[in-house]
Chain A
Amino acid sequence: MSTIVKHNTATNEVIERDMTADELAQWQADKAESAQRQAKAEAKATQKAALLDRLGITEDEAKLLLL
């Protein structure tokens, strides 16, 4: 169970407590979305490496084409 910090800026009261079921569900949804995004980024990196391989150029050489 992860925790959540609540900082009331009006009273400066800070409490840390376990996440409620709703908060935990949202956090896990964020986690799943993050994993998807990470997988997508990794797939893109793999595709990029494969493309560089097919072109027979290094990443530094590819940067020269972009800049």
Chain B
Amino acid sequence: MATTTNYSWTTPDDTDLVKDGASAIRTLGSAIDTTVFTNAGAAIQKSIVDAAGDLIYATANDTPARLALGTAGQVLQVNSGATAPEWAAPAAGGGLTQLATGTLSGGQVDLTSISGSYIDLVLVITDLETTAASGQRLRVNADSGNNYRGVAIRNVSGVPNLENNGTATAIVATAGYATATGSNNNTWIYRIYNYADTTCFKLISFIGAFKENGGALIEVDFRGVYIQTSAISQINIVNESSTYSAGTYTLYGVK
């Protein structure tokens, strides 16, 4: 008995008798019916999708479902229950969020109630000017105990020095020198790492460039630590012996 190429349906041979034709047609029809019925049941219905961009996924074994196209900029991700795909806005990447900015004034500027929602803090001080020659220092949490330590590389008029700042009551931004009065394009950038943690010491670094009272340009690269485990919620910018006449501070949270 002959069969078809793809589904092996039985068909009459060329030499079969005409009187068996009805039986042969019924056999072929039954085979076709079975195959079509089986294939239709196994196929994914096109009516599942309704619009351009629709996706088909499974909600369970042999259970297709529709996922409508997301909106512009969304990305395909696994849902919070890890049970299905979903379209969602991409997770925010890193970057800086400005938490505060202002003009330096008085003898000290305290940045208080700092949110603990970031990884690091970056404090940028630019164009700092003082009414008299004065050192600059930084504290955190208004802590004036001997809880600050670090080393600095200081470059004075091209002569580099490596300094051990020892344990001190503050981080001395001017590294033993004093800022000059007037506009000297002074700038410092501090970074306080892992500041919201409550279990480890807080690393603090800064780079700075300022005109010393005698006129020399000084660059400082400082690496140090605040030897306390408490979270940092306050930064104190201290002008040691005069008041600020100009300058800008900007505090950023780093994700």
List A residues at the B interface (Cβ < 8 Å).
2-12, 14, 16, 19, 23, 26-27, 29-31, 33-35, 37-38, 40-41, 63, 66
Contacts and interface: CB of A to CB of B under 8 A. Distances in A.
B178 A14 contact: no
B167 to A, nearest CB: 13
B141 interface: no
A6 B113 CA distance: 10
Given A30-B170, A37-B135, A37-B176, A5 B102 contact: yes
Given A26-B144, A38-B178, A5 B108 contact: yes
A2 B113 contact: no
A7 B112 contact: yes
A12 B100 contact: yes
A63 B157 CA distance: 10
Contacts of B109: 4-5, 7
B96 to A, nearest CB: 14
Contacts of B106: 2-5, 16
Please provide the 8 A-B residue pairs with the shortest distance between their CB atoms, ordered closest to farther. A3-B106, A2-B107, A34-B240, A10-B113, A31-B241, A9-B100, A34-B135, A5-B109
A35 B105 contact: no
B251 interface: yes
B171 interface: no
Given A4-B106, A14-B102, A9 B111 contact: yes
B126 interface: no
Contacts of A35: 241
B205 interface: no
A22 to B, nearest CB: 10
B108 A9 contact: no
Interface of B: 99-100, 102, 104-115, 134-135, 137, 144, 158-159, 169-170, 172, 176-178, 238, 240-241, 243, 251
A35 B133 CA distance: 11
Contacts of B107: 2-4, 19, 27
Most A CB within 10 A of own CB, among B99, B102, B107? B107
B115 A10 contact: yes
A38 B241 CA distance: 11
Contacts of B241: 30-31, 34-35
Given A9-B114, A27-B107, A27-B238, 13 more contacts: A2-B108, A2-B243, A3-B105, A4-B106, A4-B108, A4-B110, A5-B106, A5-B108, A11-B113, A23-B108, A31-B241, A33-B240, A63-B159
A51 B229 CA distance: 45
Contacts of A33: 169, 240
B170 A8 contact: no
A12 B113 CA distance: 10
B176 A41 contact: yes
